[in-house]
Amino acid sequence: MAWTVERSRYIVRDPPWLSIREEACRTESGHAIDPFYVLEYPDWVNVVALTDSDELVLVRQYRHGVKQSVLEIPSGAVDTADERPEATARRELFEETGFKAKRWQLVGELSANPATHANTTFCYLATGAERFAEPQLDAGEELVSMLLPMAEAVERARHGELLQSLHVASLFLSLAAAGRLRID
């Protein structure tokens, strides 16, 4: 059921932030869709890091899109120099929080919106997390790392304090992978 792309051009090209393609497409049944916009972002990683004391490693930072400080899991764009997304996940966890984890598991691959977004978010569960250093923040990165008991973090997610939908999805995929998600 793939579409045929009859014409494609970039109308915004600002890697690594965002590129936008405008395309003229034709569906398999012959219906023309012109214009159609595709948003290109880099691939992304989300890290659900748990300590042996059942605490979730979180960060709080200002997000200009919603103009508020929000609670998040460590995350970041996949660096093209990294061999694989897991290398980015390990780096982001350490840089943003100073934590390293003993065990890593890819628990899911998600798309923010497969209709229009071309990137993938790789979701990792990192267990046995321990603090080894102070955060190593990039220029312009202003965040505070913190630990919350898992039950409290889930309650905060349920009440909208963890606002980023892919972070919440990563949290629940990780809970399922860890055998901690109960559905009644």
CA 22 → CA 7, 19, 35, 65, 69, distances in Å? 8, 10, 6, 23, 33
The catalytically annotated residue of 6, 109, 130, 141 is: 141
- Other CB atoms within a 10 A radius of the CB of residue 123 amount to 29
CA 112 → CA 68, 94, 133, distances in Å? 20, 25, 32
Q: Is 141 a catalytic residue?
A: yes
CA 100 → CA 9, 112, 161, distances in Å? 42, 27, 25
| Residue positions annotated with a catalytic role | 141
